[in-house]
Amino acid sequence: MRQLMFVLLVILPLLHGCTALVIGGAVATGVIVAEDRRTVGTITEDEGIEIKTSSRISDRFKDGVHMNIASYNRMVLLAGEVPDAATKAEIERITRAVENVRGVYNEVTIAGVSSYSVRTNDSVITSKVKARFIDAGTFNAIHVKVVTENSIVYLMGLVKKSEAQDATEIARTTSGVQKVVRVFEYID
């Protein structure tokens, strides 16, 4: 089981959208849902929030914007690049208006859109961090969502303080990581 989780966590960011993973994904989804600290309803809401936010932003902004949108426990992380402060503010406004969003971490930078090579490198970094979480075995890797944007690793999840510290140290010491930003919610 641990090896299956390792493989899935490593390859999923690299194969986003690949239909070959549908069967394996169904099995993995069952395992992930059983281990997740969120309710099935919250997991579903998070997926819906990501889809709706992405759709609304891409409908409004056609060029000059690259966004990474992640929702965990209805808290949304926005990371990416936009051309100006007005666009950054509008993207946050659009996100806050999506149903079920409790709050927004706006980590968007005002810069040119990142290249595909930078995004590929970010996917590799995310995979390495997740793999190192599993190898360390100090906490359940399902409890921490990893998002990488421009070599900055964002960590989200419902975690204990010790899990947050372990995840941060592992991410911080992963090759290629320039910075770690924690946007955790803490549990007892």
For residue 79, give the CATH number of its domain: 3.30.1340.30
**Residues 99 and 130 placed together within one structural domain of the fold:** no
Indicate whether 27 pLDDT > 60.
no
Residue 32 — pLDDT band, cuts 50, 70, 90?
low
**Residues 63 and 120 placed together within one structural domain of the fold:** no
Residue 128 — pLDDT band, cuts 50, 70, 90?
very high
- Judge contact between 154 and 77, C-beta under 8 A: yes
Average pLDDT over all residues of the chain: 89
Indicate whether 144 pLDDT > 70.
yes
**Residues 49 and 63 placed together within one structural domain of the fold:** yes
- Closest by CA to 183, choosing from 132, 129, 144, 149, is 144
**Residues 30 and 53 placed together within one structural domain of the fold:** no
Domain count, the chain: 2
What is the average per-residue pLDDT within 127-156?
98
**Residues 120 and 181 placed together within one structural domain of the fold:** yes
**Domain stop point among 110, 131, 152:** 110
* φ, ψ at 82 (rounded to 5°): -135, 160
Domain extent for 17: 2-35+116-186
pLDDT digits (tens, 9 = 90+) for 52-101: 999 999 999 989 999 999 999 999 999 999 999 999 999 999 999 999 99
**Residues 31 and 46 placed together within one structural domain of the fold:** no
pLDDT at 26: 47
**Residues 106 and 124 placed together within one structural domain of the fold:** no
* N-terminal to C-terminal alpha carbon distance within the chain: 27
Residue 127 — pLDDT band, cuts 50, 70, 90?
very high
What is the average per-residue pLDDT within 105-112?
98
Residue 28 — pLDDT band, cuts 50, 70, 90?
low
Interior CA angle at 167 toward 68 and 2, to 5°? 95
Question: Distances from the Cα of 170 to the Cαs of 37, 72, 79, 114, 141, in angstroms?
Answer: 21, 20, 21, 25, 11
**Residues 49 and 96 placed together within one structural domain of the fold:** yes
H helices of the chain, in order, are 2-11, 22-35, 40-60, 85-96, 116-136, 161-172
**Domain stop point among 54, 82, 110:** 110
**Residues 103 and 120 placed together within one structural domain of the fold:** no
**Residues 47 and 106 placed together within one structural domain of the fold:** yes
Please state, in angstroms and rounded to a whole number, the distance separating the CA atoms of residues 185 and 142.
14
**Domain stop point among 67, 92, 110:** 110
**Residues 182 and 121 placed together within one structural domain of the fold:** yes
**Residues 14 and 46 placed together within one structural domain of the fold:** no
